[in-house]
A and B are shown apart, each in its own frame.
Chain A
Amino acid sequence: GAVVSQHPSWVICKSGTSVKIECRSLDFQATTMFWYRQFPKQSLMLMATSNEGSKATYEQGVEKDKFLINHASLTLSTLTVTSAHPEDSSFYICSVSGRAGYNEQFFGPGTRLTVL
């Protein structure tokens, strides 16, 4: 399966600052990556679909101006949380879809964001 990395694995920041999270597909060229968010004791919720070379598609209720997604290459997608607030504290996980036609998803290790 595809190997996916995320950086950083955890970050603590002050309210009002911006944080960038990287998602890399190490052995697979991913035209599409997905960004999910997981609050404590909750399941994963899709935030946006990241498409290489085009604008991301955001889910209803997710502010595109707050969560900036850039998918500049087939192996890298970045999520920038702008002007972070404590309510943005969460576990952010990206995934890539593996073999064509199977839609088997492979996930990164996640990034724990804590906003003080």
Chain B
Amino acid sequence: KQEVTQIPAALSVPEGENLVLNCSFTDSAIYNLQWFRQDPGKGLTSLLLIQSSQREQTSGRLNASLDKSSGRSTLYIAASQPGDSATYLCAVGVGAGTALIFGKGTTLSVSS
């Protein structure tokens, strides 16, 4: 059974710091991995999607890497801003058209 774990559960950093969020999964046979942002009481915003054949994806200040063999993904946020404060969720897909399996998320707080 696929399980997704995110470490740390919470993180507080001062504005401008670069940071890394970690995600691990137990079964390396994934189809893809997706990172989301969730603001309190809101839905999910897709940040980055990495296909199983890819090693990384970048969007602006965000960079996500994928190491399937070790069952790990990282989300790198450069020059953090207070507006980055949110919960970041990692989720894996096990096949085309299938639902996602989520980690519990990392709640990030960036202070000005």
Task: Name A residues whose Cβ lies closer than 8 Å to a Cβ of B.
Answer: 1, 6, 32, 34, 36, 42-46, 49, 91, 93, 95, 97, 100-110, 112
Contact = CB atoms under 8 A, between A and B. Distances in A.
A79 B91 CA distance: 23
Nearest to A45: B102
Nearest to A47: B99
Given A42-B104, A43-B104, A105 B43 contact: no
A95 B43 CA distance: 10
Given A43-B103, A104-B49, A105-B34, A93 B44 contact: yes
Contacts of A108: 43
Grouping DSSP codes into helix (H, G, I), strand (E, B) and loop, the A interface class, with mixed when no group exceeds half, is strand
Contacts of B41: 91, 110, 112
A106 B93 contact: no
Contacts, number: 65
Contact of A46 (B32, B99, B105): B99
B19 interface: no
Interface in B44-75: 44-46, 49, 51
Contact of A110 (B42, B96, B102): B42
A59 B98 CA distance: 13
A106 B36 CA distance: 10
